[in-house]
Structure 1
Amino acid sequence: MKVYKHNFHPSILREYDIRGIIHKTLFDKDAFMIGYFFGLLCREKNLNNETNIVISMDGRLSSPDLKKQTMSGLSKSGCNIIDLGLNPTPILYFGSHNLNADGAIQITGSHNPKNYNGFKMMIKNEPFFGKDIQNLGIKAKSGSNIKMNGSIESLNLDGKYLEKILMPLANAKNLKDKKIIWDCGNGATGDIINKMVKLIPCKNNVLYSEIDGNFPNHHPDPSNENNLVKLKQEVKRQNADFGFAFDGDGDRVGVVNNKLELISGDILTTFLAQSISKKKYPIILDVKSSQKCKQFLENLGYKVLIWKTGHSHIKNKMKIIKSQFAGEMSGHIFFGDTYYGYDDAIYSSIRFLALIEANYKLDEFLNYFKNSFSTPEIKIKCSDDKKFSVIENLKLKTQDKYAAKYCNFIDGIRVDLDIGWFLIRASNTENSLILRIDGNTKENFVNLSKEVDALLKSEKISVNYVSQV
C-alpha cells in the first residue's frame, strides 16, 4: 500500500503561513502534500461528518499548478473540495465563514516577489499558524497510507461577498461628489474591485485591475511608497479625494489622501477605530504602532491592547478577548463588530468611506499626529539563524537599563518612555530586524535614536535613522 510521506524545505514552514520560492524551496509535490496532510488534520477534527474544504488562489503565475496539486492532495485525504476560483484572500475567508467550512486554503504569495508563492490556511474559521504549521510538517514526515477520493465542486461567491461588504454604505448620500482612485497593482483584487465600484455612490477610477502575476506596473505592496507613484499621480491629476491601494492578495490596504500623503497603517487603524461604537472590549494595535495612536484612542474612552505583529496572532487574540477591531502597521485591518474579524482590505476601504459619509474629517484627525518625529518601519538585513538570538541578547541589555514598567517583550523589544518609544523585533517573514523610533520632539527623537544605535552596535549592527524622519 502506498505511503504518503514528505520532508518540506525547512525555510517554508513559517510563523503565519507556508511560503517559499517556486522551484527552489517550494515545488508542486509540496502543494500535494500540504493538501493531503492538511486534509487529514481537518478530518481528525471532524471525525463523524464529511469534511468540506474551501480553496482559492491569487493571480500568480505558479498558483494554478499549486492549486491543482493541493486539491489533488485534499481529495486523496478524503475531503470534499469547494473551489472558489481566483480571488483575493478575504473572499476565501468569507467563503469559509459563509459556508461554515471545516477548513480553508488560499494559494498566495501575498506581497512577496513574483517568484514566491505560499499557503494561508484556517481550520473551522480559526487561524492555522505557528505550532499548527510545524505539526503539519511533523505529520508529513511520519507519513500516512490513507487513500480516498473526495468530491470537487466550483462556486462563485462574488455576489454574496459584495452584498455583505457594501452594507455600511447602504444608505450613503454624501459620497456622490467624492472621487476615489483604486490601485489593484495587477493583483487578485482586480475583478472584484471592478464589480464593486459600479455599486458604490462615488466617482471611481480603477488602476491596474488586469490580474497579472508578472506585476508589470509596480510591485503590489501598498506599505512601500515607491509602489504608489502612479496612484499619487492620478490622485493629483484627477483632483481626487482619496486613493486606495491593495497588496497582491487583498488583505492589506494603503490609503493616500488628497495631499498625496500615505497614511501610515497605525494611524489609518486609529482613524477606522472611531467607527466602533461599543467600547467594552479592547482595540488591538500591533507592537509596531505609535504611542500617539494608543493615546488618541484612550482619550476617546477606548481600551487599547498592544499585541504581537502578524495577522494570525491578531485574529487569535481578537477571539480570546472578544475584541471588535484591530489593525497593524502593515495595513492588515480587522473588523469584528458587524463583520467576521479577519483582515479584509476591500471591506476596510468601505468602512473608511462610511466614516467619510458620516462626516468624519480626515484632515482634522491627521493634525493630531503632525508634531511627532518618527521613522517608518525600518528593515535591517539579519539572517534567520542570527536575528532571534540578537533579540534575546538585547532583551537582557534592555532589562538592565530600563524599569520593567517601560518594557514590553510580547514581540521583540518595545520601550515606551515619556519622551517617546522605540521597537526592535525580528521579522517572522523576512531575514531582517524591524525597527521603529518615535520621539515627541526632534531632540528626543535623536536621543532615542542614539539609544537604539548603541544597543544595535553592541550586537555589531548599525543603521542610519535620522534620514528616515
Structure 2
Amino acid sequence: MEVNTRAFKAYDIRGKVPEELNEELAYLIGQAYVQLFKPRQVVVGYDIRLTSPALAASLIRGLREGGCGVIDLGLSGTEQVYFATFHLGLDGGMMVTASHNPEEYNGMKLVRAGAIPISGDSGLKEIEKLLISGQCKREKSSSGALGSYRKINIMADYVQHLLSYIDPSVLKPIKMVVNAGNGCAGPVLDELESHLPFEFIKIQHQPDGTFPNGIPNPLLPENRLATAEAVRKNKAAVGLAWDGDYDRCFFFDERGNFIEGYYIVGLLATSLLSRQPGAKIIHDPRLTWNTIELVQQAGGVPVQSKTGHAFIKERLRLEDAVYGGEMSAHHYFKDFAYCDSGMIPWLLVLELMSRKNKSLSKLIGERVAAYPVSGEINRRVTDARKVMEQVEKNFSQGAIAIDRTDGLSVEFGNWRFNLRSSNTEPVLRLNVEARGNRELMQLKTEKLLAFIDGVGL
C-alpha cells in the first residue's frame, strides 16, 4: 500500500486530517519509530484537538505492537512530554499536536532519549523512508509480546521543576491576565496558582478542541485583542497568552501593549546571567543588537545560531549554553534538557518584576526605544532565491557586515536587516532594526518592502 507522507516537514509531522495524517499513518509512525530507534520505553502525550486522542491511541498501538513500552500522559503540553522524557530517563517521547495550526490540522513532535529533537536531518527523513519503502511491517515484535502500557500523571513533578527556576519568597502579589486560548495551558496554570502569590485573571481558560475563540496563535494581531482588553479592564500588571500546546509564551504590559518576543530574549538572558555570569547565550540572526548588547553588559557570551528549534537546541548543547531565545517566542533552557518551555519564561519575568519592583513596560521600555524593530513581515514571491539576490545587490552597498547564517543579514552603522525564506512555502520573511531611530527603521522597512514587491511577482 502506498503511504502518503506529505505531512512530514522539516522539523516535525504536520498535515490535514484525515487526508495527510490519519490513524493508519499514526500507527505506522509508531512502528517505524521502534524499528529505527529500538526504544524500550517512550512517553506519549496529546493536545486538545478533537482528533488527537484517536491519533495518539493508534500511535501507541504501533509502538506497543513493535515491542516498545509506553507511558501515556494523556492531555498535556509538548513540554510535559519533553520533561517526562528526561525526568524519567526514557528512550524517547512523542507528542500529538498541531500547535497553532488551523482546526483541520494535526501533527507530531518527536524526541529521542534526553529529549533530543528528531527532525529532518536527525531521524524524521529515515522514518519517512521506512514508510515509503514498505519496510515498516504491520506486525508484532519478534517476541510476539506487546510493549507495556502505563497511564501516569506527572503534573506534580513537572510543576516542582518549574518552580525550581525562581525564588518564590521574593514574589509580589502581581495581578495578571492569563489566556490559555482554550489550549493545554489551563490545567498547568491551575496547578501553579496554588504555589504562587499572583492573582490570576483567567480567560479562554478551559481546554476545548472546538476552539470557540479561534485558533490559539497570539502572533496573529487579531488574536491579541482579548488579552489586551482583559489587561486594561482588570488593571492587571501583565498579560500572558499561549499557543495551543503552550511551548510559546507571549507577553503584554500593563497598558495591554503586545511585547515583541525579541525584547523578552534580552530580559531572560540578563536574568539568567545574574546567576551564572560568563555563561553563553544563543540567539537567532533575525534581530540581534539588543540581545548582544545586554548579554555582553551582563558578562555573558552571545552566540548566533540558525533559526529553528532543532538548530538552536543543537547549538545549545554544543556550546553548553545556559539559555537560548528566538524572537518568535521560543525560549530554551539548559536545565530543561536544552528544550523550549512556555512556562519558565513568564515565571522568570514576574520574578524579575518583583525583585526590581518595576512594571514590564519599565523593564523593556528603554530597550524598545534603543532598538526599534519592524516585527517580522512576510511577503509571498514567485522565486525567493532570485529576490534575495536582487535585494543583496541593491541594499548591501556600504554595509559594514554581511552574514548568511540564516538567509541574508546586512548590517550598517545605524540599521540592519535580515531577509530569509520559508522552508515550506514561497515566502520571504523580513526583519529590520535600528539604533534609537524608529523613523529610520520604518523608512528602511518601507523601502525594502517596496523593492521586494516590485521584483517578487
TM-score by length of 2: 0.90
Answering whether residue 208 of structure 2 is matched by residue 208 of structure 1, we say no
TM-superposed CA distance for 1:110, in Å, is 0.8
CA distance, structure 2, for counterparts of residue 254 and residue 63 of structure 1: 25
Structure 2 match to 1:254: 250
Q: Superposition pairs for residues 32-431 of structure 1, below 5 Å?
A: 32-43=27-38, 51-124=40-113, 125-131=115-121, 132-142=123-133, 143-145=135-137, 147-148=140-141, 149-176=146-173, 178-276=174-272, 277-336=275-334, 338-359=335-356, 361=358, 362=360, 363-382=362-381, 386-387=383-384, 389-390=385-386, 393=389, 397=393, 401=397, 406-428=401-423
CA offsets 1:319-348 (integer angstroms, 9 cap, x no match):
011011011111111121x44321111122
Confirm or deny: 8 A CA contact 2:387 2:455 kept in the other structure: no
TM-superposed CA distance for 1:459, in Å, is 4.1
TM-superposed CA distance for 1:373, in Å, is 4.2
Confirm or deny: 8 A CA contact 2:5 2:128 kept in the other structure: no
Q: Superposition pairs for residues 457-468 of structure 1, below 5 Å?
A: 459-461=455-457
CA distance, structure 2, for counterparts of residue 241 and residue 443 of structure 1: 29
Structure 2 match to 1:436: 431
CA distance, structure 2, for counterparts of residue 197 and residue 456 of structure 1: 48
Confirm or deny: 8 A CA contact 2:41 2:70 kept in the other structure: yes
TM-superposed CA distance for 1:170, in Å, is 4.6
CA offsets 1:427-469 (integer angstroms, 9 cap, x no match):
23555321112233355335533663476257424xxxxxxxx
Confirm or deny: 8 A CA contact 1:52 1:82 kept in the other structure: yes
CA distance, structure 1, for counterparts of residue 454 and residue 381 of structure 2: 15
Confirm or deny: 8 A CA contact 2:42 2:90 kept in the other structure: yes
TM-superposed CA distance for 1:286, in Å, is 1.5
| 3-state SS of paired residue (1:121) | strand
Confirm or deny: 8 A CA contact 2:381 2:456 kept in the other structure: no
TM-superposed CA distance for 1:299, in Å, is 2.7
TM-superposed CA distance for 1:245, in Å, is 0.6
Q: 1:460 to 1:206 in 2, by over 3 A?
A: same
CA offsets 1:79-123 (integer angstroms, 9 cap, x no match):
111111100111111100111111110000011111111110101
Structure 2 counterpart of 1:217, one-letter code: N
CA distance, structure 2, for counterparts of residue 415 and residue 122 of structure 1: 35
* CA-atom RMSD in angstroms: 2.4
| 3-state SS of paired residue (1:69) | helix
- Between stretches 139-148 and 67-76, larger displacement belongs to 139-148
Confirm or deny: 8 A CA contact 1:421 1:448 kept in the other structure: no
CA distance, structure 2, for counterparts of residue 390 and residue 27 of structure 1: 37
TM-score by length of 1: 0.88
CA distance, structure 2, for counterparts of residue 59 and residue 19 of structure 1: 15
TM-superposed CA distance for 1:282, in Å, is 2.1
CA distance, structure 2, for counterparts of residue 23 and residue 459 of structure 1: 38
Size of the aligned set, in residue pairs, is 444
Confirm or deny: 8 A CA contact 1:309 1:411 kept in the other structure: yes
CA distance, structure 2, for counterparts of residue 22 and residue 135 of structure 1: 22
**What fraction of aligned residue pairs are identical, expressed as a percent?**
26
Structure 2 counterpart of 1:321, one-letter code: E
Structure 1 match to 2:448: 452
| 3-state SS of paired residue (1:81) | strand
- Residue 23 of structure 2: which of 14, 17, 28 is its match? 28
TM-superposed CA distance for 1:198, in Å, is 2.1
| 3-state SS of paired residue (1:172) | helix
CA distance, structure 2, for counterparts of residue 413 and residue 281 of structure 1: 28
